[in-house]
Structure 1
Amino acid sequence: TVSAGNGIVYAYRSLGSGTDALPLVLLQHFRGNLDNWDPALIDAPAQERRVITFDNTGVGATSGRTPNTVAAMADDAITFIDVLGLDKVDLLGFSLGSFVAQEIALHRPDLVNRIVLASAAPRGAA
């Protein structure tokens, strides 16, 4: 875990240690937590880079209250990334995580190098 200045204690897992490639931060689907990522998916990139999975605020083992907007989820994810001391990352967003990845890019474009959107849409349903 890592504690943020906002009082949230984030649960996360970090695999791999490649120092040349930027870290890859994974953003989970609705009702998912850091344990939902298939090792078959994350083990391959972890051979060459750091891959980070985490529970967003109020999800799984992370403290706090679950945000009720994608923008708030993105702000919480940015806080987590900042607490880890990462200046630039690649993002992989799956489903709801793809919405969060897009919001992160809007809120903090300096933080994002590349984004992979899986099961994505440019905006959620009404």
Structure 2
Amino acid sequence: MIDGKKRAYPQFGTGEHLVLVNRFRGVLDTWDPLFLDGLAVQNTVIIFDYSGIGLSEGELPLNTIDVAKEIIKLLDYLGIQQFNVLGWSYGGLVTQSLMFLYPVLIAPLSHFDKHVF
């Protein structure tokens, strides 16, 4: 529970923390399992449902800055102090807000700079 509300957030794999930020109204099952398994080989992958979406309680914030702040609350709850982040579609906009607001929390690139996506 975060702020008194249930949040859905599996994490799996080993390595640096990698937060995946989904499309607008995307849920945990939106992610392709093969894609997640590939990322989990070298990363501790964290996916989540936005507030008010899927298995998470609450109400979806109306702007990407507030969504980014919710992600930080989740990471604080999990005790994660540095992380890598990837977002797609709406999640890409949220990721930009996250990186702009909290640049010191974003981990320096390590193995990502060695691969082409």
Structure 2 runs not aligned, ≥5 long: 113-117
* C-alpha distance in structure 2 between counterparts of 1:39 and 1:9, whole Å: 23
Q: Residue type of the partner of 1:7?
A: G
TM (normalized to structure 2)? Answer: 0.86
Structure 1 segments, 4+ long, off by >4 Å, are none
CA RMSD in angstroms comes to 1.7
Structure 1 runs not aligned, ≥5 long: 117-126
Q: Which residue among 38, 43, 50 is the counterpart of 2:44? A: 50
Is 2:55 the counterpart of 1:61? yes
**1:119 maps to which residue?**
none
**1:26 maps to which residue?**
20
User: For 2:52, what is the secondary structure of its paired residue?
Assistant: coil
Checking the alignment, whether the CA contact within 8 Å between 1:24 and 1:92 is kept in structure 2 is: yes
Task: Give the 5 Å matches for 1:79-94.
Answer: 79-94=73-88
TM (normalized to structure 1)? Answer: 0.80
**1:41 maps to which residue?**
35
Q: Which residue among 14, 22, 30 is the counterpart of 2:11? A: 14
More helix by share: 2
Cα 1:73–1:58 change in 2 (3 A) is same
Q: Which has the higher contact order (CA 8 A, sep 6+)?
A: 2
% identical equivalent positions: 35
Number of residue-to-residue matches in the alignment: 110
